[in-house]
Amino acid sequence: MVEPSQDTHKREENKRLKAGTGPSIADDHNKIGGDIKFTKNPDFIQQRKQVFDELFAVQSKKYEEMPREAIKITLPDGKVKEGTSFVTTPLEIAKSISNSLPDKICVAKVRYSRRVGTLDDGLINPDAEKADQGDIWELYDSFRPFEGDCDLKLLTFEDPEGKMVFWHSSAHILGESMEREFGVHLCHGPPTDSGFFYDAYTGHDIFNKDNYKTIEDAAKKVVTEKQTFQRIILTKEEALKLFEYNPFKVQLIQNKIPEGGKVTAYKNGDLIDLCTGPHIPVTSRVKAFKVMKNASAYWLGKATNDSLQRIYGVTFPSKKELDEHIHFIEEAAKRDHRLIGQHQNLFHFHHLSPGSGFWYPYGAKIYNKLTTFMRDEYRVRGYQEVISPNMYNLKLWKTSGHYKSYKNNMYLFKVESQGFGMKPMNCPGHCLMFDSTIRSYRELPLRMADFGVLHRNEISGALSGFTRVRRFCQDDAHIFCAPEHIMQEVLGCLNFLDYVYGIFGFNFELELSTRPEDKLGDDALWDQAEGALAEALNKFGKPWKENPGDGAFYGPKIDIKVFDALKRPHQCGTVQLDFQLPIRFNLMYKNDHHEHLDKSMSSDTASVHSEASHASYTSEESKKSNMRSELYAKDELDEEDFTWQEHPLKNGYSRPVIIHRAILGSLERFIAILIEHLGGKWPFWVSPRQAIVVPVSEKFIEYGERVQIYLHQQGFEVELDRSNHTLAKKIRSSQLDQWNYILVVGEKEQKHGTVDIRSREQQQIGSKRVDETVEFFKSLIPKRSNQFFDLISKAWSPNDFPIVHEEEQKQQEQQQPEAKQEIKQE
């Protein structure tokens, strides 16, 4: 599969709203925080406010001098509202629509067609998002006057961007509370996917749970004060003066803002902070505020820098929503795959191999059942499983382009002075396999499946159980096909994932991500590919929506989001078209229009790989490459030993398209999702604990063992409870350990060759003979897919050829002469 940045090529809107984005800051490994102690209402608050007021007064005069002209504001429904530049605000437009609407608006989204004027010259707006036509949508303070004619969208907390702005403003409320109560130096306070946090320098003091109430009470006060947000544009010199008390802000300004550049800051109440915004109009929009946890962090993420204290929080427009969120978190904590995995003895992690799980026998059973399940489906769906190497020469990764864009996420090392890398995905290796021989159009579509082990160099701080690992395995497949095969192959992938997700009870949503602005390839090919994907989605018959511009540069894709029992979205599967890897590897196949070409051409093309591949070297070039490798061996990996060059197609050949396809995705991550989706209550067919035989007393252990052996030999995961506990305790322990069925055996069962069956949910199934129990267990295995039954219907069947027994055949042979004699006589 392709790397995450391409697999999930979902462009994050308004990146600067999120942690860890925006221009980079130069590393500084010196401790700069100095001596500081918790102090309530520190002096710098008033000093900073005085500087801000002076600067804001100057800006206000500039705004007063901006031209007032009639402007037009176009709403999403096409209605046009009249306004005045540098006077009319989005909130006023909202009020003209409905008196109650302004109270719901978190932020506006604006696309200008004509600007009368602006004070933002020199500002780089990292929140800008390019629309399809190349126009620019920007998130915009709802209290900020319009600067010209524009299109307008009004976003609430229900909109993802509106929620991010709401939580971003809440981070400022948190920051103000931390400054007021503890006098900390604020560093960084972004929203996250589940709330927000603020990092602060506290010297040798640290936060703990005893501080939570103090912060929450201060935040409630900020909310009741109904503080408005004010936006100011600062030069670099003004910013340094405003934040001269804070060494972290000073370093950030010095490293991030170029000379002559400008930056924005926002003020609400006593807080003033560097920020690109935008923000909610007033703090009173926040009706429920809660501190969730605290942790340690490092300035700029470097362990050699100052240690910071991080406070996490979450807010909502109503207390009811907060209560629901807390309940959700509590339920999610109960379902945490790390806890359930430990309790059920499925796997564990060790610091000597971070990001790599150790699968115990019970966990390995689940893992293997999933791969067996997929392999069984591969057999009926025309996939061919392959096994490919784990490490490759860097020439491969340079050919594919991954070395340039993905090398920081790879494990690289040297072998005999040559640079090598562990594979983070299978697709380049599969390209080599396709290219290993001359291919014909008759072989297509060629579906390669691979369960090979992959390694990705994730930073240690990002590792989290099995949801983010360094070593993993995917149900990876690559379909090499002709362009005219795309629709049918994609439809087959969609039907495949529908069957698999249905087995586990997952609902899912589909999005078609189309060509981005930086696409490669001509429009005709993209038109054909996008049309084929849309046709496949329509034939699939489930709702889908288009996501314009969100495809990868090398091809459009279908994004699939599955939702677990807590309605959390997860991206496991992908269906991704790729036009570029076939070009990078010069993949080709004989097309049907040129079969009449002279066979002598075959001698020139004994191997597509040897003559026209991506890595075509002369012996002299190879010598030079080896010399360079030796030269660089002492220091670092060779950066110069290979440069990819595009090769033209040969006469009589066509270029295949690759479909990257995964359904489970990472097996480790899918199992983690499955654990939390099911709460550890495994369905029978995939359960590592399908049934346990429980003798009512010690004298029935021998019979119980015979039952256990028989059922185990039939392929079921069955064990025997040999403990001397009471029957009630044995049954209760079996239920807690999530055995699907408990088979009680005693005198009656031993006499009649039966077992008494009950489920882990305490449902009484009743008494069954042991052989009947086998049939009962088989009935619990999911029904095979439609493709399986379609294939069976086409297969040879003994019913087509009735068996004639030897005696019947002799009678027929004896009757045949008599019948012939009768015919002659007649």
Q: Which residues are catalytic?
A: 427, 456, 474, 476, 478, 557, 660
Helices (H) and strands (E) in the chain, counts: 26, 38
In eight-state DSSP terms, residue 803 is -
Report the distance separating Cα 682 and Cα 337, nearest Å.
13
Candidates 598, 574, 701, 775; CA nearest to 7 is: 574
Instruction: Give the angle 764-769-774 at the CA atoms, nearest 5°.
Output: 85
401, 406, 410, 416 alpha-carbon torsion, rounded to 10°: 40
Edge-first strand order for the sheet with 412-415 is 391-393, 418-422, 412-415
Report the distance separating Cα 709 and Cα 763, nearest Å.
25
> Cα dist. 478→410, 489, 759 in Å?
21, 11, 41
Tokens, residue 169: 């403003």
Per-residue exposure over 285-304, b if at least 16 CB sit within 10 Å of its own CB, e if not: bbebbbbbebeebebbeeee
Count of CB atoms situated within 10 Å of the CB of 547: 17
Instruction: Give the angle 244-249-255 at the CA atoms, nearest 5°.
Output: 110
Helix orientation angle between 770-779 and 701-713, rounded to the nearest 10 degrees:
40
Tokens 């929140």 sit at which residue?
Answer: 127
Tokens, residue 611: 């003559």
Report the distance separating Cα 316 and Cα 166, nearest Å.
8
Candidates 662, 666, 676; CA nearest to 471 is: 666
3-state secondary structure of 415: strand
Amino acid code (one letter) for 13: E
| Residue pair 756/749 in contact by the 8 Å Cβ criterion | yes
Contacts of residue 695, Cβ cutoff 8 Å, sequence gap at least 6: 701, 703, 704, 720, 721, 745, 746
Backbone angles phi, psi at 52, to 5 degrees: -60, -50
In eight-state DSSP terms, residue 268 is E
* Residue 84 burial by Cβ neighbours in a 10 Å radius (0-12, 13-18, 19+): middle
Q: What is the 3-state secondary structure (H, E, C) of 426-445?
A: CHHHHHHHHCCCCEEHHHCC
Cis-peptide into 278, omega within 30 deg:
yes
CA atoms 363, 366, 372, 375: torsion sign: negative
Count of CB atoms situated within 10 Å of the CB of 518: 8
92, 276, 223, 147 alpha-carbon torsion, rounded to 10°: -10
| Residue pair 467/568 in contact by the 8 Å Cβ criterion | no
Backbone angles phi, psi at 631, to 5 degrees: -65, -40
CA atoms 701, 702, 703, 709: torsion sign: positive
> Cα dist. 671→165, 465, 664, 667, 679 in Å?
34, 11, 9, 6, 12
Tokens 């594979």 sit at which residue?
Answer: 423
Report the distance separating Cα 780 and Cα 536, nearest Å.
32
